Structure 1
Amino acid sequence: MKVTVDFDCTPEEARRFMGLPDLTPVHQAYIERMQKAASEGLTPEYFTEIMKTWGPMSEGTMNMWRTMFDQMSGGGKKK
């Protein structure tokens, strides 16, 4: 036996029905930070700070990101 149920609702209605949290303020804060970064330009320090807020990383991983960003921005040492 197969039963199919269709719900016609907005994403907001579905979120409330499922009891999921409203992440609109978090999303808005993220968008504002990304707009600021785009308008002011990314510095290696700002990029490092963003990566730290995205999740726990070891110092080795942070060094990898710093090196990669320096090379992309032309700040790395050329051989």
Structure 2
Amino acid sequence: MKITIDVDCTPEEAREFLGLPEVKPMQDAVMREIEQRMLANLKATDAETLFRTWLPAQMQGLEQMQKLFWSQLTKGDREPGSGRE
């Protein structure tokens, strides 16, 4: 013997009938928070912001490289046989 029962109701009606809690307000709040965080992170990845963040480190590296080159050049000028002893 096989019995089939078709229930025609909305998800809200089924949730209420079964005594399950309404989670839509909580889901909406969580989605708003996620959206705000994502937008804040997108603003942080703006090209101008990234450029300002990365530039000081790159400039420091360039300055160190220049100092290294200059130290090697001046070191070569002071060695015997260079004509500038």
TM-score by length of 1: 0.48
Q: Which has the higher contact order (CA 8 A, sep 6+)?
A: 1
Higher helix share: 2
